[in-house]
Amino acid sequence: MSLEQDIANVVSAAEQLTGIVDTKIEDINSTVNSKVSEMNSTISQQVTRVDNALESKQVLGDGTRGTKSVAIAGFFTTEGGATNMHLKLPFKIDTHNCMFHLNIYGYEYGSNKIVDATFTGYCYASNNRLYQSRTSGSHEPIVYVGTDQHIYLRITLESQYYLTLSVDSTYVGNGRVLKPGDVHFISSTEAQL
């Protein structure tokens, strides 16, 4: 063989080797891209799963007595002045037989006070009355029956300025787990609604 033939063979072998290397690089890139896409999908699914799990933690417990629903209602305002904050429950004195246990907590910034009040009672339609109600905590908590026959909770606040409130509920007795939308805050200077 001549030198020219040897060079041609080396060039041909180099071209074949370059083709093989290029193909392997394409295979590696394809495999890496596929794995990156697979990992991104897995990460996205995990993030969604974690987000859903965090959102569903609004209820703590197995749904039986003692189960707690957290942050089922919230309230915030920057208005000033004193107010009575009423919390309207879904229970009507002439319709429902249902025990309840709720906690209103938060921060009354305008008066630099911690809000922490607990309310219990029994909406007793069988006798058309509020029975065994009890309160404890800050801001003069009371439970009363409104003119619309609903059960209301009330706290008295010196200042609404940057007032933040939240409500938790615990399933007690013949009650139930309350959920978002079951209770509503109403700010009013009236003592009862």
- For the full predicted model, state whether its pTM sits above 0.75: no
53 has a pLDDT exceeding 60: no
Highest mean pLDDT among 22-31, 53-62, 178-187: 178-187
User: What is the structure's pLDDT at 55?
Assistant: 54
Sorted by sequence, the CB contacts under 8 Å of residue 140 that are 6+ apart come out as 155, 156
Tell whether 49 and 64 lie within a shared domain. no
Is 94 among the domain residues? yes
Name which residue leads in pLDDT, 13 or 161. Answer: 161
Number of domains in the chain: 2
Q: Quick one: pLDDT at residue 49?
A: 61
Q: Is the pLDDT of residue 68 over 80?
A: yes
Domain span at residue 173 reads: 60-188
Q: Rounded distance, CA 127 to CA 161, Å?
A: 41
Looking at every residue in the chain, the average pLDDT score rounds to 88
Highest mean pLDDT range out of 27-36, 51-60, 80-89, 124-133? 80-89
Residue 52 clears pLDDT 80, i.e. is over it: no
Question: pLDDT, tens digit, for every residue of 135-166?
Answer: 999 999 999 999 999 999 999 999 999 999 99
* 193 within a domain of the structure (yes/no): no
Task: Pick 7 or 122 by higher pLDDT.
Answer: 122
Please indicate, yes or no, whether residues 19 and 71 belong to a single structural domain of this protein. no
CB 128 within 8 Å of CB 78: no
Tokens found for residue 76: 């915030």
The pLDDT assigned to 54 comes to 46
Q: Examine the domain organization and report whether 75 and 106 are in the same domain.
A: yes
